[in-house]
Chains A and B, each alone.
Chain A
Amino acid sequence: MSTAMFGSGIRRREDPRLITGAASYTDDLTLPGMLHAAMLRSPHAHARIGAIDASRAKSARGVVAVYTSADTEGALQPSPCAWLLPDSDLKIAEYPCLAKDTVRYVGEIVAVVVAESRYQAYDALELIDVDYDPLPAAIDLEQAGGPDAPRLHAEIEGNQAFHWTVSGGDVDAAFANADVIVKERILQQRLIPTAMETRSAVASYTRASGELTLWNTTQNPHIVRFLCSLVTGVPEDRLRVVAPEVGGGFGSKIAVYPADFVTVFCAMKLGSPVKWTETRSENYQATTHGRNHVQDVELAATNDGRITGIRATVRAGMGAYLSTAAPGIPTILHGLMLSGVYDIPAIHEEVYGLYTNETPVEAYRGAGRPEATFMLERLVDVLADKLDMDPAEVRRKNFIPKFDDGHDVATGLTYDSGDYEQALDKLLRHADYAGLRAEQEEARQQGRYPGIGLSTYVEICGLGPSQVAGAIGFQGGLWESAIVRFHPSGKVHVFIGASPHGQGEETTFAQIVAAELGVSPEDVKVVHGDTDNTPMGWGTYGSRTTAVGGAALALTARKIREKCKVIAAHLLEAAVEDMEYEDGNFFVKGSPDNGKTIQDIALMANVSWNMPEGVESGLEASTFYDPPNFVFPYGAHLALVEVDAETGQVELKRYIALDDCGPQINPTIVAGQVHGGVVQGIGQALWEEAVYDEDGQLLSGSMLDYALPRADKLPEIEVLSTVTPSPHHPLGVKGIGEAGTIASTAAVYNAVMDALKPLNAPAVDMPFTPERVWRAIQKGKGN
């Protein structure tokens, strides 16, 4: 096997267990004597809790226990927020694991039933009587911060969780001197991440040893161990967290959740293993949501289309409590990206994080960056329209010129590398952009309404340097770790702290090792997800696992190689300086046929019969890699739609994605990430929306109402790429997990608005339901 493994689209080693039903997800686990928990959830968005009478439930068949907040007093600390945004007047409301005297969103946990079966546990939920005294709810984001809004937390004025500002350059001057100013109010609707696997926890506690094992649907088991220890008091060395097979996360499995801690509490209290798995309806109510911004944004520009400034005020709905990483999403991951791919000298944004009586909001694929990209990409199109310029031309005019080792933008970030114009040019060539515009003109003559939408983006990922993490208030590091262990037979074990859950890193990481050490990827096993047998790591989110964990792994493999070279020199009785390495073979310069294979050396290192002086036995190395900077993947996307002006229905006809994530370790997996990401972004533009009524009831509370993308509504996604290595990364790679989502919502949105242009329709809030489009068309007609 050779270094050709890097860049090969080999099929995934994860798949055999997944396609045969052999994989084990959390809910698939059964332990002897296991009991089942069910959560009693608030039916009210905001209410005082009076008496809770669980006596009927406690005596129901199969019920073992019912607990309320009074039972967990002292045993469970509040569920923590771990992103303490600096300089923002951050006010964290206490988030009790079981509601104490007030419930603040529909779905908040009021009590837990533990029973011998799930059926019995759900039967008993109906037997708990709770006196609620309903209170008015704060739902509307535009009013939640106002003086008349119901207050969620007594001590927090104006429901304001934080006020955060990013500023660079002289924005006031930019707007004072602008030839043109364009403004938009943009609603980034609430979305429900909808990983196909709902959340689940199995907790098992051994009283004799004080040891707790928690199997959990999480993207970051080591963070869960850290925070679970703080909340439950179980020391970290007695606490094992396992993320078994995890069925997607998309950000919703980053946070730690009250239900998991309650499950742990039940297992500790009862001394029996306890399983809790949410239903999909519970998932929609209680697992974190995403997006939820009201954005007021304006762009200053010259008459020839040069952007001179951007100014924005964003109200970000946080829900009833601050979820684990929530404060960083609409701020750090959003506001710092407001320059996008453009050279914008002056930027100013104010973000108000507001508590509302809704499900907490967290990261959702893209997390802050789609919201930033959308603002910019929409405004660029509005500017193009105002100046009667082609949207591609306005973009080209404002691109940051090609750079390969650092470019500073006004928000204070230093991008690593990029050639944005090349990306757009390649996209437009592939699409035959001029041809599409000509066809559009022709179709319009025939009374049809096709639209072409562009979106060019850059994103920040590979989070990130730990020093920066500290500076931005993230209560953890952001490095990753890897251990590479060679066995005597030449097989390799890799242990990583990150926790992939569908992204395929068991395969790509094996390819990295294969490329670095010249072994077959078949001989490399990648272990992750169990805090007892993997080194510390901060998890899989923010497109960071390959970018940060992959670097840790590559550097570890290189340490192995260096050690092998020393042993090989000893065995070949040559000087280390005279040794050469090629594809797993170590040899004296000029004698490749008389070398030692890495497997030979692994055997010797393990048996250690004949080692060079001062060299330790065994063949194992580890690295804790803290990246010097973030990585900045980018790209250009094009969507082609057609609007039925009679009904308002939108059909997505074609979608082309060009993404640059640097060198691709496995192009098949990269394309798969693009497909999935693009479709989630399309979902936001066309179908998905979490809707609450004014009382705080979630109207889109099941898959009957919340419209997910389906196979029959999508075209084949055309995938293109360019390759711009990151200058600071050992492999040059950037991330790709979120890229598609970051770009595609704006591309589809712009395409629909482009289609509606001849109809004079005003801007439409997402998603583009037929009715919304139809109403905009009626308005355009003056109806």
Chain B
Amino acid sequence: MFAPEFSYHRASSIAEAGRLLAEHPGAKVLAGGHSLIPILKLRLAAPAVVIDIGRIPEMKGIAAGNGTVTIGALTTHAELASSEIVRANARALAEAAAQIGDPAVRNRGTIGGNVAHADPASDLPQALVALGATFRLTSPEGARSVAAEDFFEGLMTTSLREDELLTSIELPAAGPGRGSAYAKLAHPASRYAVIGAAASVTVAGGKCTAASVVLGGLTSRPTRAPSVEASLVGQTPSEAVIAAAAKNAAGDLGDDLMGDIYASEEYRKAVAHVWVRRALAAAAARCAG
């Protein structure tokens, strides 16, 4: 497959990227390339200008401090999956990253490119929403922060403006008694999520004090499961309690599910609770340690 012609600019700083974005309305931003290049090859997009931000040093790296984990938007899936900081503070994110594509894809694909693309069958969005992430967006006019939950607006649409760049993602550091996990039914061909369930659970004194459960893959944007969360909080997270709580997932999903030739809306809705249960059980098991 052969991409159409475009002109190319490489930004060496966030400021330069901002200038280029302002100069070239409609330009596409290239980070690792694993969202953009496939679209170009299939000629589903034909931007006049591509702005390569892949080398901007300020957008790289993972750091922890002041109760926050900061992840540069250019962090690759492989780096997320293997980062001790991410594993210790946001296991669901590490697990979601580890299940994207394959090793070579994970070496190039970035967290920023992934979430900006907002593919509903992706893995990171639901994990980031469950973990309470905040996205840092900058433009020549300044910077702003958007909660992950508000960032994803729908099928491949986000609150990122055309002149803005997603530069980093912040997560609350893990507190005592908190654990998270990600469980996924992968499409056998694409490896994208047919059902992706992210769970973050906090346990104190043997009782669940907070729960965050978010599903992806089967809805146009990450979907929170409030009834699952509500039926856990205040309970001892035993196998039976988790299983019963997970069963509420179908009700939380609503009627606007996605289906395809591999798995229909009906099937996804009927079995989603299994992956919710698995994510919750793994998350709860991590709360002790």
Q: Enumerate chain A interface residues (CB-CB to B < 8 A).
A: 118-119, 122-123, 126, 279, 281, 646-648, 687, 691, 699-700, 703-708, 710, 713, 769-771, 774-775
Contacts and interface: CB of A to CB of B under 8 A. Distances in A.
B271 A123 contact: no
B4 to A, nearest CB: 7
Contacts of B267: 770-771, 774-775
A567 to B, nearest CB: 59
Contacts of B4: 123
A422 B98 CA distance: 47
Contacts of A771: 262-264, 267
A279 B43 contact: no
Nearest to A126: B43
B185 A699 contact: no
B1 A281 contact: yes
Contacts of B263: 769-771
Nearest to B268: A771
Contacts of B185: 647, 770
Nearest to B38: A704
A123 B271 CA distance: 44
B264 A647 contact: no
Contacts of A647: 185, 271, 274
| CB-based closest 9 A-B pairs | A707-B188, A707-B189, A771-B267, A122-B2, A704-B190, A119-B2, A647-B271, A691-B261, A771-B263
B5 interface: yes
A552 to B, nearest CB: 42
Given A646-B274, A691-B261, 19 more contacts: A119-B2, A122-B2, A123-B2, A279-B1, A647-B185, A647-B271, A703-B189, A705-B190, A705-B261, A705-B262, A708-B189, A710-B188, A713-B188, A769-B263, A770-B267, A770-B271, A771-B262, A771-B264, A774-B267
A42 to B, nearest CB: 17
B63 interface: no
B270 interface: yes
A123 B40 CA distance: 12
B185 to A, nearest CB: 7
Contact of A769 (B43, B262, B271, B274): B262
Interface string B172-201: 000000000000010111100000000000
Nearest to B194: A770
Residue among A691, A704, A771 with the most chain B CB within 10 A? A771
Nearest to A689: B261
A158 B5 CA distance: 47
Main secondary structure of the interface of A (DSSP, over half): loop
Contacts, number: 50
Contacts of A281: 1
Interface string B1-14: 11011000000000
A36 to B, nearest CB: 10
Contacts of B264: 771
Given A647-B271, A771-B262, A771-B267, A706 B189 contact: yes
Interface of B: 1-2, 4-5, 43, 185, 187-190, 261-264, 267, 270-271, 274
30 contacts: A123-B4, A123-B5, A126-B43, A279-B1, A281-B1, A646-B271, A647-B185, A647-B274, A687-B188, A687-B189, A691-B261, A699-B261, A703-B189, A704-B189, A704-B190, A705-B190, A706-B189, A707-B187, A707-B188, A707-B189, A707-B262, A708-B189, A710-B188, A770-B185, A770-B263, A770-B267, A770-B271, A771-B262, A771-B264, A774-B267
Contacts of B270: 774
Contacts of B5: 123
A648 B267 CA distance: 10
A134 B189 CA distance: 31
A612 B19 CA distance: 91
Contacts of A705: 189-190, 261-262
Contacts of B187: 707
A687 B191 CA distance: 13
B120 to A, nearest CB: 14
A83 B58 CA distance: 66
A386 B189 CA distance: 37
Residue among B188, B263, B271 with the most chain A CB within 10 A? B188
A436 B16 CA distance: 67
Nearest to A703: B189
A689 to B, nearest CB: 8
A20 B263 CA distance: 41
Contacts of B1: 122, 279, 281
A119 B40 CA distance: 13
A770 B185 CA distance: 10
A239 B281 CA distance: 68
A598 to B, nearest CB: 51
A140 B5 CA distance: 40
Contacts of A700: 261
Nearest to B42: A281
Contacts of B261: 691, 699-700, 705
A41 to B, nearest CB: 14
Nearest to B277: A646
A318 to B, nearest CB: 23
A418 B187 CA distance: 42
B268 to A, nearest CB: 9
Contacts of A703: 189
A202 to B, nearest CB: 18
A646 B264 CA distance: 16
A118 B3 CA distance: 11
B31 to A, nearest CB: 21
Residue among B261, B263, B274 with the most chain A CB within 10 A? B261
Residue among A699, A703, A705 with the most chain B CB within 10 A? A705
Contacts of B43: 126
A687 B4 CA distance: 33
A523 B271 CA distance: 62
B224 to A, nearest CB: 23
A514 to B, nearest CB: 41
Nearest to A704: B190
A84 to B, nearest CB: 37
A313 to B, nearest CB: 28
A703 B101 CA distance: 13
Nearest to A774: B267
A703 B43 CA distance: 17
A774 B2 CA distance: 40
Nearest to B270: A774
A549 to B, nearest CB: 36
B205 to A, nearest CB: 32
Contacts of A279: 1
Nearest to A120: B2
B104 to A, nearest CB: 14
A774 B185 CA distance: 14
A118 B190 contact: no
A634 B116 CA distance: 55
Contacts of A704: 189-190
A279 to B, nearest CB: 6
Contacts of B2: 118-119, 122-123
Contacts of A770: 185, 263, 267, 271
Nearest to B3: A119
A615 B202 CA distance: 94
B79 to A, nearest CB: 22
B187 to A, nearest CB: 8
Contacts of A708: 189
Contacts of A774: 267, 270-271
A564 to B, nearest CB: 55
A270 to B, nearest CB: 21
Nearest to B263: A771
Contacts of A710: 188
Residue among A279, A687, A770 with the most chain B CB within 10 A? A770
A660 B187 CA distance: 37
A395 B185 CA distance: 38
B156 to A, nearest CB: 16
A37 to B, nearest CB: 13
Contacts of B189: 687, 703-708
